[in-house]
Amino acid sequence: MFENEQRTELGTLGEFGLIQHIASHFKPKRSDTVAGIGDDAAVIQSENRLVLLCTDHMLEGVHFDLSFHPLKHLGYKAVVSCVSDICAMNGKPGQILVNLGTSNRFSLEAIEELYAGIQLACERYGVDLVGGDTSASQRGLMINVTCYGSAKTETITYRKGAKPNDLLVVTGDVGGAYMGLQILEREKKVFLEHPEMQPDLERFDYIVGRQLKPEARVDVIAQLEELKIVPTSMIDVSDGIASELHQLGAHGKVGFNVYENKLPIDPQTVDIALEFGLNPSIAALNGGEDYELLFTVDQGHFDLIKNLPDMTIIGHATEEIGKYNLITATGNSFEIKAQGWEHFKHLSE
Ligand code: ADP
Ligand code: MG
């Protein structure tokens, strides 16, 4: 199967390259596997409906820092990130399984806090926790959530499917979760150097909330259904718009033009980005974990979408396969690079 003769550093592949490498050796063979590796969730035919299956894990020290991620929020967020992948297929979540790797550093009360967050998310998204697995972990806490959901054959939406001239739409606002993380990391550093100083996070409430307590856009999925709009392609924003755009482009064999002045950025995100010496558009394009939905729709839906407060048309698909341009207010064009694919490259630096 894998017949590499020499050692290959993961950093040379990147996360996306690694997944593609694995996927190339696991082409689905069963007739009921409708879609395997490569989308936000796998799709399985079950009688006359489509079952969705996805999984996400969070590792201490990689995805979260317990000095500023409260356990309850962490439990909630672990469920959100998985439910969000079901939404990205235009599907509805049903049940979850939770795998936990923990050490005796944690008390029962701490684990109860984590599960209080999971329970809150179960109630919010109408999902049942139906199982999981628990094991000892020698290094840090690990939470893995698997979500089982469903979609209709007529409305299921994949990462592929965008056509040239389709409108590119993003929900909510972007870049906030990333700037929230920058604030939390900065305040942690200040606290470690000056423990007598209490962090004042009130000024940053919105973006810190975006980082600590994101929501999956089940409301948007319901709204699209009500409006009878079926996106031509869709993905959720976990790695940042830039990275997700490359996914929609690669799967749909299109390019995209994005208009900088259309990017929906909350004023608090703008203020804090500037305070950090960052261009707010860069934060909006490359910041991850917003769990908004990025999708394309046929131009014919323009009138329906343009006035919806929670959806913003930020650009359109083009025929220029693999070209992702950011058009500024003055008409200049810059290439949008996908930083979210570089996880392993950062780790190996
Ligand atoms: P998302 O950001 O939506 O969670 P990912 O980029 O993590 O998506 O994954 C993309 C696709 O690759 C998904 O179909 C996922 O199931 C698959 N995938 C990710 N990691 C692995 C792995 N280690 N083995 C097999 N499939 C994987
Ligand atoms: Mg996803």
Q: In Å, how far are 12, 199, 239 from 196, measured between CA atoms? A: 44, 10, 35
Q: Is residue 19 part of a domain?
A: no
Residues 173 and 132 in one domain: no
Average per-residue pLDDT in the chain? Answer: 93
Q: What is the CATH number of the domain that holds 199?
A: 3.90.650.10
Q: Is residue 18 part of a domain?
A: no
Residue 203, classed as helix, strand or coil, is: helix
Residue 239 CA, closest ligand 1 atom number: 2
Residue 168 pairs with which residues in a beta bridge?
A: 296, 315
Residue 196 vs residue 239, higher pLDDT: 239
In this structure, which residue's CA is closest to atom 22 in ligand 1? 19
Q: Best of 15, 37, 295 to mutate for ligand 1, by most ligand atoms within 8 A of CB?
A: 37
Residues 147 and 171 in one domain: no
- Per-residue pLDDT tens digits for 292-317: 999 999 999 999 999 999 999 999 99
Q: Is residue 15 part of a domain?
A: no
In this structure, which residue's CA is closest to atom 16 in ligand 1? 37
Dihedral (CA of 108, 195, 269, 333) sign = negative
Q: Is residue 303 part of a domain?
A: yes
Q: Best of 1, 19, 86, 160 to mutate for ligand 1, by most ligand atoms within 8 A of CB?
A: 19
- Per-residue pLDDT tens digits for 1-26: 787 888 888 888 888 889 999 999 99
Residues 242 and 136 in one domain: no
Judged against a pLDDT cut of 80, whether residue 348 lies above it is answered with no
- Give me the percent of the chain exceeding a pLDDT of 70: 97
Residue 113's domain comprises 29-151
Residue 44 pairs with which residues in a beta bridge?
A: 33, 51
Instruction: Indicate the pLDDT class of residue 340, thresholds 50, 70 and 90.
Output: low
Ligand 1 centre and the CA of 40: distance in Å? 7
Q: Is residue 116 part of a domain?
A: yes
Give the number of domains in the chain.
2
Residues within 6 Å of ligand 1 by CB: 19, 22, 37-40, 56, 85, 238
Ligand 1 centre and the CA of 248: distance in Å? 15
Residue 236 CA, closest ligand 1 atom number: 3
Q: What is the CATH number of the domain that holds 52?
A: 3.30.1330.10
Residue 235 CA, closest ligand 1 atom number: 3
Dihedral (CA of 314, 292, 11, 22) sign = negative
Ligand 1 centre and the CA of 56: distance in Å? 8
C-alpha to C-alpha distance for 250 and 336, rounded to whole angstroms: 14
Ligand 1 centre and the CA of 203: distance in Å? 36
Residues 242 and 296 in one domain: yes
Q: Is residue 309 part of a domain?
A: yes
Residues 195 and 334 in one domain: yes
Judged against a pLDDT cut of 50, whether residue 341 lies above it is answered with no
Judged against a pLDDT cut of 70, whether residue 325 lies above it is answered with yes
Q: How many residues does the chain have?
A: 349
- Per-residue pLDDT tens digits for 199-248: 778 889 999 999 999 999 999 999 999 999 999 999 999 999 999 999 99
Residues 45 and 144 in one domain: yes
In this structure, which residue's CA is closest to atom 2 in ligand 1? 238
Q: 343, 325, 223: which is closest to 288 by C-alpha? A: 343
Judged against a pLDDT cut of 50, whether residue 346 lies above it is answered with no
Residue 188 vs residue 50, higher pLDDT: 50
**Which domain-ending residue is among 112, 127, 151?**
151
**Per residue in 259-274, is it b (16+ CB within 10 Å) or e — as a string?**
bbeebbbbebbbebbe
Instruction: Indicate the pLDDT class of residue 159, thresholds 50, 70 and 90.
Output: very high
Ligand 1 centre and the CA of 134: distance in Å? 22
What pLDDT is recorded for position 3?
A: 79
